[in-house]
Amino acid sequence: MSGVTREQQRATDAYARVTAAPQGLRADYKPRVHGLGASVLRDGLAAALTFLEREQDEKEEKPLETNAAMLLLHDLSVVLVKARLPGLPSKLTGDTLPGAVRGLGLEEYMLATREMLRLVVWFRRAVQATFKEAPDA
């Protein structure tokens, strides 16, 4: 027994992903993280991920490090794989996460939604704690 709770693991994973975000993307990454929880509650998990997926598709093919929506989807997929949720494949990527969620059955979808809401709390805390505000001019 490792002695690490699931909540501690979520926090550790979220902080690791957020602190690894490139400086140039943080201004775009932050509002996506802050809006994700409300989007999941208002529209549902599949719609919230589809919104990020659509933002990803609007950009021409660019590397992960140049698109905040792609980076957030990637970060969420990495952390969700560790949660080992039923119905989700063990090899998720930012590209496959929205489709995998849309293919879940009702009970698996509800579990994934609850897990995502728990993760979003830690992603928000990590962004608030690690992204420094630009000084006022």
CA distance 66 to 112: 27
Number of domains making up the chain: 1
Strands (E), the chain: none
User: How many other C-beta atoms can be found within 10 angstroms of the C-beta atom of residue 121?
Assistant: 14
Q: What is the mean pLDDT of the chain?
A: 87
Residue range of the domain that includes 34:
6-130
Q: Is residue 135 part of a domain?
A: no
In a domain, 73, yes or no: yes
- 93: helix, strand or coil: coil
Q: Which residues contact 68 (CB under 8 A, 6 or more apart)?
A: 25, 28, 29, 32
Residue 64 forms part of a structural domain:
yes
Q: Is residue 33 part of a domain?
A: yes
Residue 18 sits at φ, ψ, to 5 deg, of -70, -45
CB atoms within 10 A of CB 61: 6
In a domain, 19, yes or no: yes
User: For position 134, what pLDDT does the model report?
Assistant: 54
Rounded CA separation 44/110 (Å): 10
pLDDT in tens, 11-24: 999 999 999 999 88
**Averaged pLDDT for residues 91-104:** 91
Of the listed ranges 31-40, 63-72, 88-97, 122-131, the least confidently predicted one is 63-72
The pLDDT tens digits for 74-90 are 999 999 988 888 888 88
The answer to whether residue 12 sits within a structural domain is yes
CATH code where residue 110 lies = 1.10.520.30
Residue 60 has pLDDT above 70, yes or no: no
Measured between alpha carbons, how far is 134 from 80 in angstroms, rounded to an integer?
31
Residue 1 lies in a domain: no
